[in-house]
Chain A
Amino acid sequence: KDKEEDESKEEDSCSQQNRASRKKNYQQKNSDGKKAGEEGSRQRERGKKAPTKDQKESENKEKKTNKKEKEGDDKQKTDRKNSTTSSSNSSDEESLSEEELAMLMEQVEQKKKLISTMRNKPWRMMKKLSVLREAQAFVEKFEGALGKGKGKKLYAYKMMMAKKWVKFKRDFDNFKTQCIPWEMKIKEVESHFGSSVASYFIFLRWMYGVNLVLFGLIFGLVIIPEILMGMPYGSMPRKTVPRAEQATAMDFSVLWDFEGYIKYSALFYGYYNNQRTIGWLKYRLPMAYFMVGISVFGYSLMVVIRSMARNANESTADGDDDNFIFSWKMFTSWDYLIGNPETADNKFASITTSFKESIVDEQESNKDENIHLRRFLRVLANVLIICCLCGSGYLIYFVVKRSQTFSKMQNVGWYERNEVEIVMSLLGMFCPPLFETIAALENYHPRIGLKWQLGRIFALFLGNLYTFLLALMDDVNEKLAEEDVVKNITHWTLLSHHNSSVGNGSTATPPPLDPADVPRGPCWETTVGIEIVRLTVSDILVTYITILVGDFIRACFVRFMNYCWCWDLEAGFPSYAEFDISGNVLGLIFNQGMIWMGSFYAPGLVGINVLRLLTSMYFQCWAVMSSNVPHARVFKASKSNNFYMGLLLLILFLSLLPVAYTIMSLPPSFDCGPFSGKKRMYEVIQETIELDFPLFVAKIFSYVANPGLIIPAILLMVLAIYYLNAVAEAYQRANAELKKKMQMQREEEKNKRNNKASTNPVLQDLEDLFTPSTKSESHLKEAEDKKIDSPNRTSPVVKQDKAAALGGSPMTGGRGTAFTLPPHMFMTRPPTPHVWAPYPGQPRPRGYPLGPVPGRGRGQPRY
């Protein structure tokens, strides 16, 4: 026994030394090597040993009980006192009987469990340390006796790899979020203006992504091949500026109108040649042009619908977790990782905004006033708005009619020429605020109000769009008529040129006519393209100027004139502008519609749009942050911005219609564009099939295009849609049912708890302090433990403090008491759970010297 005590002391001093060396190491690092040379290196060696030990201990903690057998043995291996301990253990082992062995096993298991759950206990570090130490000593002692272990190293390695992997994944996630463009910008806007404003910017970003893809498609497959491999500028009439325009073709005012050199560039439809293949690659440009035109629509449709479906999925996926909105916001919204004042400011702002959003939601759901009055008001508002829409529709119709008569007359004034545009922009300016005033009658939740507002303005703008289209159509028809005439003239000119050269009686080959001199048709496709590009550009400018004047100048004025004004500008009339979500979203959507419509006739349009979106992202972010104020009622954006997507889909469809119409039923111009010389644009496909594919493919196509096949296919699709719809409905119903059940269950649980709590509130109180892991113990035990625990917490005992200060290195001393308890003492103890109850309250036999190391105070009883 004495020998063992000695050992323990030795061990303890050893560990102390270890710790000392560690501290010294630290000092060394800091104070640049007080001790140098051999001594230092030896210390380092020791320092290295200490961590390995620590590792064991920390892993001990994490270990589950099923690994129990393996540890002890390994521990012994690593132990410096390896031989002596094992010998003493083995001597004990021989004296054990079978029953005792089993008991021992059980105890060891319990200790193990304690060690593994040690982390989870809300004890003070000191208590943890002492309990841990004791338990470890016990386990260590007996596991060697009972078990054998292998694979410890493998396990450690695995743990390490798992940790590394987790860390890597986290870093990778961080990296990924950093890669999302403008994420920080949008987050910043969101934290100050709420998720509804941020939803606009997210939508803008999404749009930018889509446009980037379209841009890549068009540039990669149409424009770049044309520039690289097509005939160069000036080689043929369609690629040359006509003689009459050449003088002014480089003027800025001309270029600004997209005439002159820009008109005869690869940005527009008319520049492309109808040569079937170009360059050494035999690139089939007309075919590519057609396919890209189609696939722009195809891709957009696919993307919009896919994102709609995903949004719908998301909104159903996490729709049921709304039981604890406020609690979660209250207790989990602060991110404890934040250590940067700016981020913290943002976080405060965002938490406040999110609270406000939820409050608005809550107030809305609580409102139940006069329902009849509300209904009446809503009906009234809708009637008013429909009147407005009808009136504006009629006004547009009237103006368009008038403009047609004006266009036939000569010498009309500036107003008459621009009447349509003026009326349109006036309508666009005054109707939305009018709608907003009317919408105030309805008193909707702002989110729903926004949707209504969007829908109404959308309806208004549709009129705008369609008058524009009608005007274009008229234009096109005119151009078509004109074209027939020009066609003859061109024919005649070429012929006469030929004739004249022949008539001169010289050589058979006439001198080539300069391409700039050839009379040419109006090329309606390019006209349409130019029209749309102009509209887009002016739209961009108007948007930016509105932001600059309406928001920035106003904000500056309000801000700086407030000092010398007779009323409070900030609170009073002009004040700061709010961010106009509906207007901006609609602007974006209509702009996109224009892009879709125009991209077939002006391939360069998408490039302009990409630029526009890029600049407006930065510009609007800046404008919002610098000169707007948050809405009076900040509201949460709906989880899925499917409403925006729905509008986008609608506009996509609407812009698809005119393009499809022109492709299918208007003849292309005879002297410009990739399809010149064909009756219809789609003939390019037939041509490719006939010329480039084997015969049977052409046959198959002709069969497939048979109406007898198409009509059944459409029927089949309709049936499939019907079926899927029915299935979806059934699922929805089932979902609602399940939700109801869950709600009911929750209520039931609440009630049950209510009853329980009323019967035994004391128990409840006691349980509060403890983790689930200790709940298995009897409540008596808990009470006892609490009694002991609480004085510790409230009244600082000097000795305890001492010990606490000592515990600075929580695990190195772990072996200190390891060898102090003679092994056979444990066999006398019954294996009850009380044995491993919290240490200080535990009645334990102290017949043997515990071997407290002087001055460490760990093994000493605390009471």
Chain B
Amino acid sequence: MVGTIGIFALPMRKDTECCAYVKRFIEGRVFSVLMISTISLNALCMVLQTNYDIRNYLFLIFEVVEVLFMSVYCFEFCIKLYVDPLGYWKNGYNLLNVVIIIILSVPFYMRKLFGRHYPYLNIGEGIQSLRILKLIPYSRGIRTLITALGQTICTVASVMTLLFLMMFIFAILGFCLFGSTDAGDLNNWGNLAVAFFTLFSLTTVDGWTDLQKDLDERGFTLSRAFTIFFILLGSFVFLSMFVGVMIIHTEDSIKKFEKELEDERHVAVLQEKQNILKKQQEEVSRLMQKGLVEGFKKTLRHSDPMVLEDFCTTLPFIDIYLSTLDNQDNTISKYIEIEDDLGLPKLRGKGKEGEHSRQRKSIERHW
């Protein structure tokens, strides 16, 4: 068995076959179909439970089904933990599962600890709807979408922080101007929280004319400038900036993501091509022997024309190739000059250089 998870080293698992079997089961189709159907059924039951009559009528069924769902989720948690005790916690979706199991048990404990008439009981029941988030790991499309968009979270957070700071400044300003005195608009600017709400309402430009009317009735002359200035800044500038920043980041992250997929596929295809080429080479080297090649060469005549369209036999290619080689030759010659200047030991592969230039010359001659 696993034994104790020591601080220094995890002892080797002795049940590798069982572990492998369970792992195969988890990654198989049966398990995912089971989980998806369970979660969908759970979502449906929760919708039905909101109706008081149905809940009253089918009370027992709902209780039983609830226990069933809870057991399925715990079973999933246990076997996933069994397969990989330490690596389980590194995956974000597994953490989500744990959080949802904790949420599942919240209403039960609330009822136990605080009694039946605790006013916040419906809050506990409300957050049960988060169970449907368990569906996300089983859908590849949504997972890729979240991975692709995950990069934009940083941008979103920074823009939000900036917006919050700006609203903070204006909230304090608005409170001092409009909500501090008794003759002021205490309803909308009385304390900081309400001021924040008012400003948020101005940012989303919903019902702001009513708020402005309230201020006008109280006779504040500066209020119009204040409101209009804030709407321009918050709604027009900030929210549009939000859109712009998101557009750029979405484009970048999606492009990067697709490029990664493309590269993976490319590498796989290239690998296959290499294998095929290697097999071909082996076959050829088996067939070709020196005598055969020489014999074949003797059969070639100069007056036989061969018309080719391949790029590697066209004149532009030869031009480009020889120019590139010349460029490389120049680099070498420059280096050798440096050698001479510095008085370094001569590192010229004389034989190779000579042969190289000889072959180049013969190519040029054959034009």
A binds B: no
